[in-house]
Structure 1
Amino acid sequence: MQDYLRIAPRKIGNAAWVETLGLTALVLGLGYWTEPTDPLHAFSGFPWSLFAPVLLGLRYGFAQALVSGLLLLLVLLGMHRFGIGAYAQMPAAYVVGLFACAMLVGEFRDLWDRRLEGLQRANEYRQMRLDEFTRAHHILRLSHDRLEQKIAGNDQSLRSALLAMRQRLNEVQGHEALAAMAESMLDVLAYYGPLRVAALYRVSEDKVIPEPLASLGELPAINFAKDPMVQLMFEHRELISMRPEMAESGLHLEKSPLLACLPLIDTNGEMHAVVAIFGMPFFAFHERNLNLLAILGGHLADILLSREQEIMHLDIDVARFNRYLERSLADAQRYEVPATLIAFEMLDASWSDTLQRLLQSTQRGLDVLRVCDNSKRVKVVLALLPLTAEDGAEGYVQRIRLALQEQFGRSSEEVGLVIHRQAINRLVRKAAVKRFLISECALDEREVAIH
């Protein structure tokens, strides 16, 4: 413990006894110098020799004050023995006062010392606990920094995971996309869950097919037809989990072996599959993580829907844009996941094809583009930026303007490019997005597929 942290006096050593002898001798010497016939000042006014035991008692305590008083008493007895000066007569009052003052001062100083020593021990204990807490805090902070570095260095993000699933879809041959992608879907959910024991089951006519398409860990037995959590999931058509509010509502979900039941429902409301979650780490079982699983489940269901639309030979670009716009609106309302809708209106027809190619070349992985004509017979490119807040959208627009300047040496105003933006968040309703497309972008109401 550093000296500046101490609140109690230091332990008394040999220097204290040397000082006791020295101060007592000094007082006697000064007394003899001022009054040779009465060096103790026992008979001449105030007994100044009392300062030696009093000062030593204040500084060191009872023992040093007593020793100093005894030394003065020995001098007094010696002078009385040899009849020096007035000391032929024993000054009883001086002797009593000397020891009374010395012992009282020393005793109070020792009491003060004991109290400070107790405070010192309490202070050292608290300092020890503070040091332990500080070390634990630094270890936790180091672990957190290493975790951040690990995550920052890991190219697996929500955006990259969805991109990987789209690429996996392109590799799937035939009509059975769910069976071919089940393992990949469950891997994505397990990575972000994180899930320890789970399985993905096909849903047909609102019934779970008991044979799992993909699984993790050792699965317990479960009767999907009678399981209360599965029934509640079909009733509400959303993720259901073993949370306290469920028990408080009178639902007896403790009879289910499931921790959570995640439906994969696309924007058309069709349930493709169910992910039954039997086990996951305790630290991961919270509202935010469950919401992330629900968001992923919806996007995975939309990926399956896109394959069905391709097979049916629908207008892929229009259907894809409408599907992701509906998904972004739903995610913003339910889970507060932001997105941004940008409309690039090309007033100069001579530049419209060039600008369209520029926008397509700068398209990011999850961004969805749609080209259409508005009521003013002007080409409009709609760009939906999922998982992108307003600051991210501003950066995207700035990159478009910078690319236009670098490649063609023109500003957006010079090529007749007008940019309209609409944030999609929890406060924005479908009606506001619809008004943005119809009023600000001048699109025909039939082009706006927002239900």
Structure 2
Amino acid sequence: MQDHATTPTATPDSARRVGIAAEFRSSPLGLLVQTSERPGVVAAETLLLPLLALLIGYVFSRSDPLWVHAEFPWSWFAPMIVALRYGPIAGLSAAGVLLLGWLGFNREDVSSFPQQYFLGGLIVVMIVGEISSLWRARIRRARTAQYYMDQRTEQLVRQHYLLRLSHDQLEQELIGRPVSMRDAISVLSGLSGAPGDAQSLLNLLAQFCQISAASLVAVHDDKLELQPIAQLGGVHEIRPEDPLLRQALEARVLTHVSQGLREAQQTRYLVVAPMLDLSGEIYGLLLVEEMPFFALKEETLQTINLLLGYYTDSVAANRLAQPLLQAYPQCPQPFASELQRMEHVNRNAGLSSLVVMLELSPQAVQSQMAQQLMRLERMLDRSWLIEGRSGKQWLAILMPLGTSATAEGYLSRIEVWLGQRGLESLGAAGIFPHTILLDRCSASSVLEQIDRMSHD
């Protein structure tokens, strides 16, 4: 991947244009069009240029300093240059200096005043001044537009540069976390606590939470085993006297160095997370020694808690689901186990789940709608088909880590599927949905609601 942490540079075309403009400004013609906005400078040029023309005329033609009778009136160059630079008013003022100069040279006899000479000169100066004003206005508008476009271009370049950096960071994050939360839970659901499953859990944590070096240590009867059951990033000696480790073991909650631990400077670990089963017993500890600084945030810590809890729940699910199965023997074991896991996830990580209850009318039952709807389940969903009264059926679908929006999306997918079969809505197909949100309620209370709804 290319490193984009460099400042954007100008394009070759813009650099070439800048070079041409600089070369033109340094030429004599470029100096001619470089004007000043200060009134003192404008007044000085308006006065000095015609005086300079009078001086040159007096030096080279004392009998006719303004070249009134010459083949070309060279003295009018001064007012034309002033008009070209600053407009018609300044040009006429410079022409007034020439008029005063002629009066000064011919103060003894003003009867020979050259009317056509000055009239023609004034007309030329006014034309040059108007053209100058027109082009100065156009140049001013072009400069304003160019300034605005330069600002917009610079803003777009910065936004594009930031977008590239954001894209690179997102790409790196996706490379470090190539699986979704549901994919991770799907992998964990296949782990049963076998000897090699702890290493698989640690590898998944490293992939999902960007952990570089860590260990999994077993805990039996609140006593820490010094021999790790899984390691990542090399062999590390366990330090049971570490203050962060002791705090996590005593408090039975995830601890990390940014929590303001007094002895944080003496700890070797960044994160210590207990592996609690559904009964609250410690199964083990995750000791994280190395991970990127930007990864140490609330979302990552919550993910570590979730994955560790789901793994320990998978190991203890069969044993802990027995009370639910005894109370509701018709409930499938996968449904009860998953419901028990989701209760623990909600209690520890605050992530809700839900159960969608689909009431199937006798017409839908005859069409074997339940079997077809079960084919539309997601990978992590668990279903339970219940025989109701009066020929009805109830299909309970447990959606782990789902919200109300998940239920709406699932029902919309069913409606699209029904529309492809010529049915306009769920009601037309004899399907009536109900939702039970697993949020701060126990698994037994959810099963109680399911049993009550299906037998009403």
Q: TM-score range by the shorter chain?
A: 0.5 to 0.7
1:193 lines up with 2:209 in the alignment: yes
1:140 lines up with 2:165 in the alignment: yes
Q: Secondary structure at the match of 1:342?
A: strand
1:391 lines up with 2:402 in the alignment: no
Which one of the candidate residues 193, 196, 200 is aligned to 1:184?
200
1:344 lines up with 2:358 in the alignment: yes
Which one of the candidate residues 270, 277, 280 is aligned to 1:269?
280
Write the distance in 1 (CA, Å) between the matches of 2:84 and 2:290.
Answer: 72
- The answer on whether the counterparts of 2:317 and 2:341 sit within 8 Å (CA) in structure 1 is no
Matches within 5 A, 1:203-282: 203-224=219-240, 226-243=241-258, 245-247=259-261, 251-282=262-293
Q: Letter of the 1:143 partner, please give it.
A: D
Measured against aligned partners, the alpha-carbon deviations of 1:386-429 in whole angstroms (never above 9, x if no partner) come to 122222222222334554666797965466433211344xxx43
1:157 lines up with 2:189 in the alignment: no
Query: Please, which moves more after superposition, 210-219 or 330-339?
Result: 330-339
- The answer on whether the counterparts of 2:423 and 2:429 sit within 8 Å (CA) in structure 1 is no
Write the distance in 2 (CA, Å) between the matches of 1:18 and 1:218.
Answer: 73
Shift, 1:345, TM fit = 2.9
What TM-score comes out, normalization by structure 2 length?
0.61
Aligned residues: 361
Measured against aligned partners, the alpha-carbon deviations of 1:112-168 in whole angstroms (never above 9, x if no partner) come to xxxxxxxxxxx9xx979968845632431442575688699x5x2221222123345
Question: In structure 2, what is the equivalent of residue 14 of structure 1?
Answer: 29
CA gap of 1:15–1:354, structure 2 versus 1, over 3 A, is closer
Gaps of 5+ in 2: 1-13, 35-44, 55-63, 68-75, 111-146
What TM-score comes out, normalization by structure 1 length?
0.61
Gaps of 5+ in 1: 29-36, 41-48, 87-122, 170-176, 446-451
Q: Secondary structure at the match of 2:227?
A: strand
Measured against aligned partners, the alpha-carbon deviations of 1:84-125 in whole angstroms (never above 9, x if no partner) come to 747xxxxxxxxxxxxxxxxxxxxxxxxxxxxxxxxxxxx9xx
Question: In structure 1, what is the equivalent of residue 314 of structure 2?
Answer: 303
Q: Secondary structure at the match of 2:278?
A: coil
Which one of the candidate residues 218, 237, 240 is aligned to 1:202?
218
Q: Letter of the 1:252 partner, please give it.
A: E
Measured against aligned partners, the alpha-carbon deviations of 1:30-88 in whole angstroms (never above 9, x if no partner) come to xxxxxxx9989xxxxxxxx9x9499579849xxx99xx89x9699779948xx8747xx
- The answer on whether the counterparts of 2:321 and 2:333 sit within 8 Å (CA) in structure 1 is no
- The answer on whether the counterparts of 1:351 and 1:415 sit within 8 Å (CA) in structure 2 is no
CA gap of 1:74–1:257, structure 2 versus 1, over 3 A, is same
Write the distance in 2 (CA, Å) between the matches of 1:260 and 1:304.
Answer: 23
Question: In structure 1, what is the equivalent of residue 130 of structure 2?
Answer: none
Query: Please, which moves more after superposition, 362-371 or 280-289?
Result: 362-371
Question: In structure 1, what is the equivalent of residue 342 of structure 2?
Answer: 328
- The answer on whether the counterparts of 2:227 and 2:238 sit within 8 Å (CA) in structure 1 is no
Question: In structure 1, what is the equivalent of residue 118 of structure 2?
Answer: none
Shift, 1:280, TM fit = 0.2
Write the distance in 1 (CA, Å) between the matches of 2:361 and 2:159.
Answer: 63
Question: In structure 2, what is the equivalent of residue 95 of structure 1?
Answer: none
